[in-house]
Structure 1
Amino acid sequence: MAYLLNIGTRFLEKKVCIKFNYFNTNNPTIKKRERILSITIAFVILIGIIIGFISYIIPEIMSSVQNIINIAIGFDYTGIKKWVDNFLIQNNITLGSETYNSLIASINKIVESFTDWLKYLPDMIWSLVSHTISFASSLVNIVMGLIIAFYLLVDKEKVVDFGKVVIKCIVPKKFAPVVINNIKIVNETFNSFFAGKTLDSFIIGLIFFFGGMILNIPYLLLSSIIIAITNMIPYFGPFIGAIPVIILTMLVSPIKSIWVIIFIFVLQQFDGMILGPKILGNSIGLKPIGVIFAIIVGGAIAGPLGMFFGVPIFACLFNLLFSFIHNSYNKKYNVKEDTSIDKSKER
C-alpha cells in the first residue's frame, strides 16, 4: 500500500508543491511539512475514490448490467437481419446468398453467446462485491495498514537507508552495490510504468466518457470503466476493451455501434501517437516489439494479469541486462561513465 501511495506522493511533491512554490525550500522542517501535505492529499484522494466507488459506481454498474440482461433476453434477432439488409441497400453492396446467410448466422451466434454469458454476470459481480465487502469488514487491518503506510512515507528516506544497511550486512561487500543498484532499476521501472499507464488510462477513460455523452452512447459509465481498465494493457488492451463496448452498443442501436467503433479507433490513435508517448515517453526502455513479446509471453503464462505485469517485468529484466552490459563494458575498457554506451538510446 505504501509503495502504491508513494507514486501519488512523489507526483504531488515534485509536480505540485515545487511547481507552485509551496514550501519550495531546503529547510528540513518545511520539507517535512511538504511531505506530510502531499501524503495527506494522496490519502484523501484514495479514500474519496473508495467511497465514490462503493456508493455510486458499483450500484450504477449493477443497474446497467441488469438493463443489459433484460434487453439481451428480449432481443429481437430479426432486427439484425433488417439492419444488415438496409445497410447493404444504402451502400449498394451485393452479397451472394451463401455469404449473406453466413454473415447473418455469425452475427446471431455472437449475440446469442454474449446473451448466454450475461445470464451468469450478476452472480459473478455480486460474488465479487460480497468478497470485497467481506474484505473491507476487516476495518482494523485496513486502518493499521494506512497508519503504517503514512509513517513509512513520511520517513521513506530513512526506511530506504535502513534497507541499504541491511543489504550491506547480508550481501558480500563486493556485490552489495550491484544488488542495491538492481533494486533501484526495478523500482524505477515499475514506478514509471504504473504511474504513467494509470494516468494515461484515466485520461482515455475520461475522454471516452465525455465523448460518449456527445454521441449518447448507452451504458456510458460501464463502457468508460471497461475502456480505462483494459487500456492498462499496452497495444492489445484497447482492442480487448472495444469488443464488449461495441456489443453493448449494438444491443441498443446497431447503427450507433459504427460510430462507437470509429470513436474508439480515433481515440486509440490519439493515445498511441500523442498521449501515450507524451506521458510514458521511453520510461520503461522497451521498443514496441519488446512490449508485444512481453504481452504475448505474459498472457500465455498468467492470462490477463500476465499481459499487464508482463511488460514491467520484462522491462526490468531487460534493463538489468543492459545495466550489466553497461557496467561490464566500463570495467573492461576502463572508460568513464559519460563516454561509455549511450544509455539514453531507446532499447
Structure 2
Amino acid sequence: MKKSFQSPYFKWGLTAFIVIVACICFFFSIFKMQGLFLAIQNFIGILKPFIYGAVVAYFMLPVYNLLVRKLHPLFKRVFKSPKRASSWTKMISSIASVFLLLALISALLSMVLPQLATSIFSLSNSLPEYMNEVPAWLENLLKDSPGIRDNFMKLYVQFSDWMLDWMKDDMLPKLIGVMGGGLLGTLTMLKNVVVGIIIAIYMLCSKDLFAAQTKKLAYSIFSTEHANLFIKNMRFIHHVFGGFITGKLLDSLIIGMITFVAMNLLNMPYIVLISVVIGVTNFIPFFGPFIGAIPCSLLVLMIDPIQCIYFILFILILQQFDGNILGPKILGDSTGLSSFWVMFAILVAGGLFGFVGMVIGVPLFAVLYSLISSLAHRSLQDKDLPTQTVRYFHVDYIDPETHRPVPFPTEKPSEETGVSLKRKPRRSRRSDEEKKK
C-alpha cells in the first residue's frame, strides 16, 4: 500500500498550495514593495551577527586549515582518544585564528588611526589657508594668458563656493546626526561584532559537520548526478571567491605599503591618509585606482601643485605595475572574465549593492558566467553541436542534418577557426550552353 504523501492527490494538493503561496508572495512583492524591503532590512539586521561571523570565518579559513594540519599530530600524541584530539585541535585552531585576526586589526588600527587623525585635523585646520593660496598661484602661473586665467578663476570660485556650501549644509548636519545617535549605534555594532566573533569560532569548529550535513541534504533531495553537480559547483564557487578575495587583500596590502614607502621618499604630505585610501580603494577592481587617486591628487594639489604632478605620475606607474605584474602574479586567472565583463559586473553590482557590490561583483559574475557557460556547453553536447566558441566564427547557419557549421558564401577559408569554408565553384551559363551543344 502506498503512503499518503506518495499518492497523486497529495502531490496535486502540494502543487496547488505552493502555487497559491507563490501568487500571494508575488502580490505582496509588487503592491507592498516598501513594506517588503523594510521586512528584508529588519531580517538582515537580525542576521548581522551571523553575517559578521560567516565573513570572519571565511576569511580565516586558510589560517584555520593550516593550524589544524600543524596541531593535529601534537594533540594525537597528547590524547589517546582520536575524537578528543580532533575536537581539541579544532577548538584551539578556531580560537587562535580569530584572535590572530583581531590582533592584526588592533595593531593596524593602533598604527594608522593616530596618524590618520593627525592628517585629518591638519587638513581641516589648513584647508582655508590653502583655498586662499590657490588663486595667487593661478594668477602667477597664468599671468601671460589673461583669458585662460579668468576662466580658471571663475571655475575655482564656483568650486570653492560649492565645497563650502556642501560642508555647511550637508557634511556638518550629517556629522551632528551621527554624533547624536552614535552611542546606540556604536553599542549595537559592538554587540554584533562580539557575537559575530563567537559565531565565527563555532563556524570554524563545525566546518566539517556543516559540509557533511550539506552533502547529506543534497543527496537526499536531488538525484546522485545532480547532487554531484551541485557539490562540484559549490567547490568552484569557493575556489573563485576564496582565491579572488584573499588575493585582492594581499594585493591591496602590498600596494598600500608601496605607496607609504614611495610617499616617504618623495616627501609628500598626508602619507598615512593617502596610503590607506589607495590601499583600500585598490580592492575594487578596474575602478578602484581612479576612485582613490582623484581625491588624493586634490589633497596633494592643495599643498604643492608640482608634487601633485609627481603623485599622479607615481600612481600611473604603480597601477601599471599592479595591473601587469603584481596583480596577475597574485590573482592569476581566478575569474576568467574579460575586461568588458569585469566592467559590466562592477557597474551593475555597484549600482545595486554599493561598495560591497563593487567588491563581490566580479567573483559573483564569474560564478554566474561559468554556470551559464556550463549549461550552454551541456545543451550543445546533447544536440551534437560544436562546443568551441571558435567554431562559430564566420558561420552562416548549422546544417540540421549533419550538425556541421556552414560558412558565409563570401568568406574565404580560415585556418584559425578550423571551419572549412570551401564551396563548389559556380558554373557560368555560357559553359552550360556549350556542353549542351
The reply on whether 1:10 has 2:10 as its aligned counterpart is no
Aligned partners of 2:252 and 2:283 also within 8 Å: yes
For 2:287, the equivalent position in structure 1 comes to: 236
Secondary structure in 1 matching 2:235: helix
- Deviation of 1:133 after TM superposition, in Å, equals 3.4
- Deviation of 1:262 after TM superposition, in Å, equals 1.1
Which among 115, 120, 133 is matched to residue 186 of structure 2? 133
- Deviation of 1:242 after TM superposition, in Å, equals 0.6
- Deviation of 1:330 after TM superposition, in Å, equals 5.5
Which segment drifts farther, 214-223 or 263-272?
214-223
Secondary structure in 1 matching 2:130: coil
| Mapping 1:288-327, distance limit 5 Å | 288-327=339-378
The reply on whether 1:165 has 2:219 as its aligned counterpart is no
- Deviation of 1:11 after TM superposition, in Å, equals 5.5
Give the letter for the 1:80 counterpart: V
Aligned partners of 1:71 and 1:251 also within 8 Å: no
Alpha carbons of structure 1 residues 207 and 64: separation in structure 2 relative to 1, 3 Å: same
For 1:345, the equivalent position in structure 2 comes to: none
Give the letter for the 1:300 counterpart: G
Alpha carbons of structure 1 residues 54 and 273: separation in structure 2 relative to 1, 3 Å: closer
RMSD: 3.8
Alpha carbons of structure 1 residues 137 and 53: separation in structure 2 relative to 1, 3 Å: same
For 1:100, the equivalent position in structure 2 comes to: 149
Q: Measure, in 2, the Cα distance between the counterparts of 1:206 and 1:283.
A: 24
Q: Measure, in 2, the Cα distance between the counterparts of 1:17 and 1:268.
A: 37
- Deviation of 1:71 after TM superposition, in Å, equals 1.4
For 1:215, the equivalent position in structure 2 comes to: 266
| Mapping 1:1-347, distance limit 5 Å | 1-10=53-62, 13=65, 39-52=94-107, 55-77=110-132, 79-84=133-138, 87=141, 95=145, 97-114=146-163, 116-117=165-166, 127=178, 133-138=186-191, 142-171=193-222, 175-329=226-380
Secondary structure in 1 matching 2:234: helix
Give the letter for the 2:300 counterpart: T
Give the letter for the 2:106 counterpart: I
For 2:27, the equivalent position in structure 1 comes to: none
Q: Measure, in 2, the Cα distance between the counterparts of 1:44 and 1:307.
A: 28
Which segment drifts farther, 279-288 or 45-54?
45-54
Alpha carbons of structure 1 residues 99 and 239: separation in structure 2 relative to 1, 3 Å: same
Aligned partners of 2:64 and 2:204 also within 8 Å: no
Alpha carbons of structure 1 residues 304 and 65: separation in structure 2 relative to 1, 3 Å: same
Alpha carbons of structure 1 residues 144 and 303: separation in structure 2 relative to 1, 3 Å: closer
- Deviation of 1:70 after TM superposition, in Å, equals 1.6
- Deviation of 1:254 after TM superposition, in Å, equals 2.1
Q: Measure, in 1, the Cα distance between the counterparts of 2:314 and 2:135.
A: 24
Aligned partners of 1:2 and 1:150 also within 8 Å: no
Unaligned runs of 5+ in 2: 1-52, 77-81, 390-437
Unaligned runs of 5+ in 1: 343-347
* Higher RCO, 1 vs 2 (CA within 8 Å, ≥6 residues apart): 1
- Deviation of 1:323 after TM superposition, in Å, equals 2.5
Q: Measure, in 2, the Cα distance between the counterparts of 1:134 and 1:53.
A: 22
Residue by residue over 1:169-224, the C-alpha shift from the partner in whole angstroms, topping out at 9 and shown as x without a partner, is 34455633333333333222221221111111111111111111111221211111
Alpha carbons of structure 1 residues 185 and 131: separation in structure 2 relative to 1, 3 Å: farther
Q: Measure, in 1, the Cα distance between the counterparts of 2:259 and 2:184.
A: 30
For 2:18, the equivalent position in structure 1 comes to: none
TM value normalised by structure 1:
0.77
TM value normalised by structure 2:
0.63
Secondary structure in 2 matching 1:75: helix
Alpha carbons of structure 1 residues 34 and 326: separation in structure 2 relative to 1, 3 Å: farther
Q: Measure, in 2, the Cα distance between the counterparts of 1:122 and 1:217.
A: 29
Identity %: 32
Aligned partners of 1:198 and 1:232 also within 8 Å: yes
